[in-house]
Chain A
């Protein structure tokens, strides 16, 4: 992998921020976009923009072909059995909410249980809280090990006949934990529960094969994998989706409309009410082309190497707290003693280094870590070891800035 050549394809990374070359270490929040993706969206608007599935005219056909072509590209990307199982929406949050509002409300009852973990992002937590409130079901949390991992024995002990849904993140956006979702899905299925995977931090980094994992639902976002914002995907097994009711009603999703009732289009369109996110889907398809050209396995290997290097280098800093397991995805969450992460992020920003600071939409996990906030550096294919060296130098400066002169 030629990182220099890859980085050159990202126009945004060629700039200076506050007088320093930009070091972008916030890809877990959103990734940057290569020129191929920007141009795919641009070309669509310049040449083919039209509404899909209805126009008889040439532009309408082109837009429809591109939009449905993107669906096929995504089917192949996650190895789904059919494009009927690929639903476009505006992101992971929308996908998980569809499962919660449609599948869960119709299939979960008062004595049932929904199993999640304390490491979930709010988007894979609050929809289930709401389901529990409406249906009277119980939300059950798997315990975390000290390093933030899950034990399969705990899954075996906690998932039972009452469990209707097991909803777990593929990769933790705070700890970097990579969860054994295939093994957990198997346990869920032994008890006839469905397995829902929050793939927001998974699909961008790990080669996902939904048939091999055998999950029932897998939700992810385009913007975290070099695609545009506003486009996401929900994969669902066809037999489950067939029996689910739409949660958004209107144009695009109907078959026959009468004065007092209507029927729905077939899959996947019954879940895509309104004009869809056409440009977003086309941009996402271009992002997948880009990622596959670089090679997904190479990208993961690169990120794993960066994470290991970052841990090794950051450990040399006195008074730094590092969170999460040794074996992890490409991110490091940390705190400097006596410096609030906002202050750390502000000082790093002055050096041109972009990191995230806050609770990372994971307040229960912050409680579990016994902190109110943390800083996080996250890596993607365009990051280098030099970026990490600059981060470490920036952190040393932060310590110096806050440690000296103010006593």
Chain B
């Protein structure tokens, strides 16, 4: 097949007039300069990357260059970049963007990132890729004809809808794209309506709960890759979570998704040493925990309350105290009887033994405050980190953690994008519901630039809801594994054995044992 040849006759039309005009002395150097410069920058081949050559100050890692090249040569600029946390997805996206810009295929670009990461994107594009992006703030101007960065929340406002429907972006890049898993959300609808030629979705956790999420993500990029929705359900789905026809599913998925795994890339991989520490509650803690069902507020589930109590009594009390008359209850008395927190004591022990920086995650603000005071009362300098801190305060807290503080206590929110390679101990003071959050947490320290083995400690109370949570976490991880490939040892391998023993030894009723076994077999299926 011969391609169409489109001839541009602008120059030809002017030729008669050109011939009449005399040239000026500066013309010839300029004439030679533009041709030489053009020759220097033009892409002489379809394949291969030009961008690394234009960025001599950057030492790109082989997997990053390979990824960028594959996205350009095989995926035609539409891809999900799903590297594990900390392998440099931003760098891969930057390389691809730079490449398309150098080739003159892309000039108008929209980068959508969480509001907290907008400035970091601008900084990385500028420093690493010499792309000077325009950050859209309070009064965005979408007519900007270059690279622009905005938060999805500011862009999706209905008042801009007309502007967006009239604008063709050469490339759209969406960071933390796992936020786009639900097609009914405004975010998803906004993105699916964008007029774009090339598109990159970045996420470390393309699946959080079920395989439908992957289907929806892929449908933003390449509608029809898995067929339409009903074909997908029929061909690939099995039950709510599981995937069938795995091989076919994988080979299709690989057409749009690249997932680099830490273990495959590092020659001497940083080991991840995971310790699940099971702690027995003190009698006081146990009594408090068991009394919770008696003073349950209306709008709160027992499970929520129990999970809070597994973290600290303060987390539970922050919910309970809102209830009128709570302080007269038995539970309130029981809470006062608790003099110490067994998990905090264990955490203190770990910090003492580590003699290094330790990052502690909790889901609860109350636990965070308690822990900060607890560590300080034991002469260990500790600082807190929350998502709702202002940018300056966040930076300051990280600086403190780099400097004098030994312990950083972080809540879930706002931990995305943090780079804490200088620390290698992570304590999960309580377990999040979502197994991928675990991965996000660990990724703060287990990322490029980490030079030592990483220690992860899960603290869990025996015979509490935390035990059961582990089984559900495990279920979700196996689904994730089936869809994407193998996953690091987030949970210990011998967990299954342990669970079996535990189910026989500690169940108080046969019903409990049955449920546990059902869970387990569902997991192993």
Pairing of A with B: no
